Amino acid sequence: MSLVPRPLALAPLVVLALAGCAVEPPERVAATSSAIQGGADDATHTFAAAILEGGGVCSGTLIAPNLVLTARHCVADGGSDAGIDCARDTFLPARGPSGMKVSFAATASTAGAYDVAQVIVPPDVAFCGNDLALLVLAKNVPASVARPASPALRGHAYGRDVVAIGYGVSSPSTNDDGVRRARSAVPVTCVPSDPAFSCDPATYDMTSAELSAGDGLCSGDSGSGAYVPASLETAPVVIGVLSRAGETRSRCTDAVYTRTDAFTDLLRGAAADAARAGGYAAPAWAGPVAPAPPVDAPPPEAPAPEPAAPAVETGPAPTTTTTTTGCSAASGLARPSGVGASTAAFAALLALRRRRRPRSSSSR
């Protein structure tokens, strides 16, 4: 495949976000996305979930009994019809959760799926490096349905490859999404600031809060996790959330993930709140959490009033990090109105760009 190098004098290359959702056919969810390219059907790793909204599908990871990790562009619009420009593009407010569900079935289905009560997103609205969201479910997922994975937090040491698991299409030309598939030995190509990887994030069109990992992640895989291979047998660990990728006529290329360790504080805070809402002990990775007061406990006695202080001008209220949400057909794209619309738009836009490479590379 011939590649187009990026001249030094040009603005940063525009990279397209993965289409997060697709259209639902009569008998199954999201027939216009597909599965991880080159992956195998996966009925084992039930922590890997499908995010469903309005007939569309994204992917995600259960990280606590009522907490799911996914991509922000699955629940909020952002970017533009021309693709994602890291120097320019931002997220709009997330949509409400009405009609949004999470399925842990090997073939995604609204039957038996879990309602979403709340979404938590980073306060920074810049698209690149902030494409991460947390969905708080309306009820806990029992261990008999799915056992949670753990997110990699600050100080994580990266390996040379990951396992990718998602509900996306198996190639740019197929309509076979909605089935969970896994692909092993996906090479990690760039982790900014990690001494084990010699790479500059600018040459991969990404930020220091992201990592690049191989090919084969397609429409519908948005929000899917990159997992530490050795962890899958005992205690699964997810290191990233799929944000975007490139595409040629026959292949999905160069996946970029939002790193979980870049959001350690956000993840821990969300886990603590979700544990209180779900009435269970917070997971060990969340750190110590103060227990909620008993329901029947009397209210604390009010302290004596302090003398009134002189009025002081204050600035605007701080930006909240919590909002309600839904699921997006594709970042910056109008929602599809018929079967095939999402895939067609996704393919047409991705065809405008080629894979990200260091400036010195021009062929593969």
Paired tokens of 110: 């609204």
Q: How many CA atoms lie within 13 A of 140 on its CB side?
A: 17
Q: How far is CA 168 from the centre of its chain?
A: 13
> Which is more confidently placed, 294 or 136?
136
| Cα within 13 Å of Cα(15), Cβ side | 28
Confidence bin at 30 (pLDDT 50/70/90): very low
pLDDT the model gives residue 7: 26
346 pLDDT above the threshold of 80: no
Pick the CATH number of 40-277+321-350 from 2.40.70.10, 3.40.50.10540, 3.30.470.20, 2.40.10.10: 2.40.10.10
- Torsion angle of the four alpha carbons 177, 183, 187, 193, in this order, in degrees rounded to the nearest 10: 70
Query: What Cα–Cα distance (Å) separates residue 144 from each residue in 47, 141, 149, 227, 299?
Result: 11, 8, 14, 21, 38
- Contact between 226 and 238 under an 8 Å Cβ cutoff? The reply is yes
Give the pair of three-digit tokens for residue 153.
């937090």
The CA distance from 53 to 330, in Å, is 12
Specify which residues 165 forms β-bridges with.
Answer: 182, 225
More confident residue, 302 or 191: 191
Residue 203 has pLDDT above 90, yes or no: no
Angle at 299 between CA 298 and CA 304, to 5 degrees: 130
Are 330 and 20 in contact by the 8 Å Cβ rule? The answer is yes
Determine the pLDDT at residue 90. 96
Cα distance between residue 32 and residue 52, in whole Å: 13
Alpha helices in 40-192 (DSSP H): none
Q: Is the separation of the CB atoms in 277 and 140 below 8 Å?
A: no
Give the pLDDT confidence of 253-300 residue by residue, as tens digits: 789 999 999 999 999 999 999 999 999 999 999 986 445 445 444 555
Q: What is the pLDDT of residue 96?
A: 86
What is the rounded distance in angstroms from the CA atom of residue 259 to the CA atom of residue 357? 19
Report DSSP state, residue 41: E
Task: Report how many helices (DSSP H) and strands (DSSP E) the chain contains, helices first.
Answer: 2, 15
User: In the chain, pLDDT over 70 holds for what percent of residues?
Assistant: 65
pLDDT > 90 fraction of the chain, expressed in percent and rounded:
50
Query: The whole model's pTM is what?
Result: 0.73
Are 67 and 135 contacting, i.e. CB atoms less than 8 angstroms apart? yes
Q: Each residue of 146-164: pLDDT tens digit?
A: 999 999 999 999 999 999 9
Contacts of 174 (CB under 8 A, 6+ apart): 34
Mean pLDDT in residue range 188-212: 91
Q: Specify whether the CB–CB gap between 72 and 14 falls below 8 A.
A: no
Among the ranges 65-74, 197-206, 244-253, which has the highest mean pLDDT value?
A: 65-74
Residue whose entry in the numeric block shows the structure tokens 């699921």: 327
Mean pLDDT, all residues of the chain: 74
